[in-house]
């Protein structure tokens, strides 16, 4: 959110007498890190997840880390406890598969039982696939698709990314849990604040695994191994997931242009977050990515929790790529020198606030 960060707390993650430096790019070290930094919170949440769930609405600008934070939550608690739904990806996937007669039959059958709206199912599908440019895809149709996806997930805590998407959808989100008949578990807004300068860098260098969809960043959150493409003269990351067998991670179309290509979207996201901040009756978790540049000196965070800028070097003789680090200072939206946190310490803040919100 552009503007003052007063409402977004800086979470102290530095633990007294804990001198070990964890490699936050290594899954084994991350597990130990989370245990050391938020062990009590994790114990309480594991007990909670044994018989409870929640619906969390992730509000943040494009490439603000929503997918990464959810992946780390699943890493901590297990994919059987944590589910992530990207509404944008869901709509695109539905668009893709609905041309298949069998898939269309399944979707229409579900919609006939669960969709309630002002236009017919056929008209809504025409709007989805672009056959009718005059009709906008109704929110009620999107809600039905989300409910279908949640039904497929089973009993999990759901992190919903991309809803509400517009100001008029906020009212739907207030009653979303009831609209989808999704138990009586808590619903929570999770707002993520990230400076535009950091966002621009992340957006230009974001990559995902084509197999497991795990997100990483070429210069701010790499995998353990990287490669070099002789033809393009560019470096690339290799997915850490053993099941992906070192798959080459790829960029998303349009990200290379940076944030100016999505300026209107960023301004709307600002309005959404500010509107949500004014709501009463629903818990809010506020995650802050940028912290003052003196936070290490002041004992708020450890130096390895701050995002470095990663640099790559290719050795032609060994055909190997080495990954080094250099300091990365960004300007927050008020023009102050700041550090951008790596994803794990932001998740530590999420864990600590979740325990408070759920009153554990």
Over residues 303-320, the pLDDT tens digits come to 999 988 899 999 999 999
The yes-or-no verdict on residue 185 having pLDDT over 70 is: yes
Identify which of 88-97, 130-139, 222-231, 272-281 has the greatest average pLDDT.
222-231
Structure tokens at 148: 């279908």
Residue 298 CA to residue 81 CA, distance in Å, equals 36
Instruction: Specify whether the CB–CB gap between 349 and 290 falls below 8 A.
Output: no
- Please tell me the total number of residues recorded for the chain in this structure: 360
| Residue 307 or residue 229, greater confidence | 229
**pLDDT above 70 covers what percent of the chain?**
91
Give Cβ neighbours of residue 211 (< 8 Å, ≥ 6 apart): 239, 241, 243, 244, 247
- Residue 281's pLDDT is 81
Residue 214 CA to residue 209 CA, distance in Å, equals 5
Instruction: Specify whether the CB–CB gap between 246 and 238 falls below 8 A.
Output: yes
Residue 339 CA to residue 36 CA, distance in Å, equals 22
Mean pLDDT of 184-208: 87
Q: How confident is the model at residue 5 (pLDDT cuts 50, 70, 90)?
A: very low
Which residue pairs, CB below 8 angstroms and at least 24 apart, start in 226-232? 226/312, 226/321, 226/323, 227/321, 228/312, 228/314, 228/321
The yes-or-no verdict on residue 3 having pLDDT over 70 is: no
Mean pLDDT of 93-113: 89
| Residue 16 or residue 274, greater confidence | 16
The yes-or-no verdict on residue 196 having pLDDT over 70 is: yes
Is the preceding peptide bond at 164 cis, omega within 30 degrees of 0? yes
The yes-or-no verdict on residue 294 having pLDDT over 80 is: yes
* 172 closest CA partner among 160, 163, 159, 162: 163
Q: Which of 16-25, 216-225, 252-261 shows the lowest per-residue confidence on average (mean pLDDT)?
A: 252-261
Residue holding tokens 């998303």? 252
Dihedrals phi, psi of 248, to nearest 5 degrees: -75, 120
Residue 356 CA to residue 282 CA, distance in Å, equals 13
Mean pLDDT of 118-132: 80
- Residue 187's pLDDT is 86
- Residue 323's pLDDT is 94
The yes-or-no verdict on residue 133 having pLDDT over 90 is: no
Q: How confident is the model at residue 230 (pLDDT cuts 50, 70, 90)?
A: very high
- Partners of residue 228 on adjacent β-strands: 235
Mean pLDDT of 330-352: 92
Residue holding tokens 């490439």? 63
Mean pLDDT of 148-167: 84
Q: With both helix axes pointing from N to C terminus, report the angle between 87-97 and 139-153 in degrees, rounded to the nearest 10.
A: 90
Mean pLDDT of 169-188: 66
Residue 7 CA to residue 297 CA, distance in Å, equals 23
Q: With both helix axes pointing from N to C terminus, report the angle between 27-49 and 66-77 in degrees, rounded to the nearest 10.
A: 80
Mean pLDDT of 11-24: 93
- Residue 43's pLDDT is 98
Give Cβ neighbours of residue 135 (< 8 Å, ≥ 6 apart): 119, 123, 124, 126, 127
* 348 closest CA partner among 54, 55, 14: 14
Question: What does pTM read for this prediction?
Answer: 0.79
CA angle, corner 8, sides to 357 and 186, nearest 5?
20
The yes-or-no verdict on residue 56 having pLDDT over 60 is: yes
The yes-or-no verdict on residue 258 having pLDDT over 50 is: yes
Residue 319 CA to residue 333 CA, distance in Å, equals 41
Strand order in the sheet with 290-292: 290-292, 337-340, 330-331
Q: How confident is the model at residue 1 (pLDDT cuts 50, 70, 90)?
A: very low
Distances from the Cα of 28 to the Cα of 22, 49, 117, 242, angstroms: 9, 22, 48, 13
Residue 329: HSE in the Cβ half-sphere, 13 Å Cα cutoff:
9
Q: How confident is the model at residue 50 (pLDDT cuts 50, 70, 90)?
A: very high
Other C-beta atoms within 10 Å of 259: how many?
20
The yes-or-no verdict on residue 242 having pLDDT over 80 is: yes
Q: How confident is the model at residue 353 (pLDDT cuts 50, 70, 90)?
A: very high
What is the fold, at CATH topology level, of the domain defined by 27-81+156-357?
Rossmann fold (3.40.50)
- Partners of residue 309 on adjacent β-strands: 326
Mean pLDDT over each residue of the chain, to the nearest integer: 87
- Partners of residue 251 on adjacent β-strands: 207
- Residue 260's pLDDT is 85
Helix, strand, or coil (residue 54) = coil
The yes-or-no verdict on residue 2 having pLDDT over 70 is: no
Mean pLDDT of 53-63: 86
Mean pLDDT of 132-159: 81
């Amino acid at each position: 959110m552009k503007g003052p960060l007063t409402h977004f707390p800086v979470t102290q993650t530095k633990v007294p007498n804990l001198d070990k430096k964890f490699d936050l790019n290594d899954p084994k070290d991350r597990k130990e890190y989370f245990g050391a930094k938020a062990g009590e919170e994790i114990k309480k949440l594991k007990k909670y997840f044994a018989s409870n769930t929640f619906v969390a609405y992730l509000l943040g600008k494009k490439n603000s880390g929503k997918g990464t934070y959810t992946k780390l939550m699943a890493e901590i608690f297990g994919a059987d406890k944590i589910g992530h739904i990207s509404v944008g990806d869901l709509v695109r996937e539905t668009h893709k598969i609905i041309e298949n007669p069998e898939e269309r039959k399944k979707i229409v059958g579900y919609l006939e039982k669960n969709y309630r709206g002002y236009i017919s199912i056929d008209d809504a599908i025409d709007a989805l696939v672009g056959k009718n440019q005059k009709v906008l895809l109704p929110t009620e149709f999107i809600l039905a698709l989300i409910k279908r996806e949640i039904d497929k997930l089973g009993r999990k805590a759901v992190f919903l990314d991309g809803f509400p998407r517009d100001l008029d959808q906020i009212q739907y989100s207030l009653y979303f849990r009831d609209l989808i008949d999704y138990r009586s578990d808590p619903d929570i807004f999770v707002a993520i604040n990230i400076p535009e300068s950091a966002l621009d860098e992340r957006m230009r260098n974001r990559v995902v695994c084509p197999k497991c969809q795990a997100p990483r960043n070429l210069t701010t959150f790499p995998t353990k191994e990287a490669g070099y493409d002789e033809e393009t003269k560019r470096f690339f990351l290799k997915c850490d997931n053993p099941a992906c067998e070192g798959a080459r991670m790829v960029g998303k179309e349009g990200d290379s242009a940076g944030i100016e290509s999505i300026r209107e979207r960023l301004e709307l996201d600002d309005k959404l977050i500010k509107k949500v901040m004014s709501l009463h009756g629903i818990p809010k978790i506020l995650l802050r990515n940028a912290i003052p540049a003196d936070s290490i000196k002041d004992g708020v965070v450890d130096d390895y929790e701050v995002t470095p800028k990663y640099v790559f070097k290719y050795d032609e003789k060994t055909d190997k790529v080495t990954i080094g680090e250099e300091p990365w200072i960004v300007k927050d939206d008020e023009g102050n020198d700041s550090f951008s946190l790596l994803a794990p310490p932001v998740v530590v803040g999420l864990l600590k606030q979740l325990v408070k919100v759920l009153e554990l």
